[in-house]
Amino acid sequence: MSNSSLVDVKIPANSNNYAIGRNGKKIEMITIHHMAGVLTAEECGSIFQNKNRIASSHYGIGKDGRIGQYVDEENTAYTNGNLQSNFKAVTIETSNSKASGNYPVSDKVLETLIKLVADIAKRNNLGTIVKGKNLTWHKLYSQTSCPGEYLLSKMDYIVDKANKINMNGIINSGNLDEKNSNQAKKTNEEISDEVIKGYWGNGEERKTKLTNAGYNYNTIQKMVNKKIK
């Protein structure tokens, strides 16, 4: 099982704070948390090095957008306050830009979070990212306000951007709109199925996306119309 290549620094959590393996379970989701503080990736990692903490996370995004890794994805981090969800989740702690109010995060941290979510989903074959299913948050599993109202309000945005990264083959480093020219092009049959599932939008948006991706809009649309009759 691989780990993210986006990681800037590795700070291994104390062995008391996570479990080796995943109890026979496979990774099925990503769970987002906030740090309830303005911390660097290193500061967050140092918390998990305390053997008495009995808590950890796979990744943490610091206030400057740098990514720390604390637990390998093949192991179970103690993050969600719910062991069964921990077995199935890759977890991410996210630094706030303000440790009060609705606990906002900076735009830089948010964009890094989107890239990391896309990367985890792609490597673990999670398919299309769906809010509340394979993209979850701490509050779903424990009596807590985590990840804060700001991040909760951004879940649809995170899902949309992360899916676009994986759907369009956008490079995971640099500009979110830069396309990976090495990505294998899908067949018209595959694209028409994706259109029916709603991956390419509607109307002019669909036409623009398909054209920009190098597909013949009219050909794809004819296939779609035939399939949905």
**What is the residue whose two structure tokens read 């192991």?**
75
* pLDDT of 35 higher than 80: yes
Q: What is the mean pLDDT of residues 36-40?
A: 97
**6-33 pLDDT per residue, tens:** 999 999 999 999 999 999 999 999 999 9
Domain 9-168 -> CATH class: alpha beta
* pLDDT of 172 higher than 50: no
pLDDT of residue 49: 97
Closest CA to 59 of 29, 91, 17: 91
Instruction: Provide the strand spans (E) within the chain.
Output: 9-10, 18-19, 29-34, 59-61, 67-69, 76-77, 89-94, 135-137
Residue 215 has, within 13 A of its CA and on its CB side, a CA count of 26
Give the neighbor-by-neighbor strand order of the sheet with 135-137. 9-10, 67-69, 59-61, 89-94, 29-34, 135-137
* pLDDT of 169 higher than 90: no
Cα–Cα distance for residue pair 163/158, rounded to 1 Å: 8
**61-108 pLDDT per residue, tens:** 999 999 999 999 999 999 999 999 999 999 999 999 999 999 999 999
pLDDT of residue 200: 85
pLDDT of residue 205: 81
**Mean pLDDT estimate for the chain:** 90
pLDDT of residue 185: 67
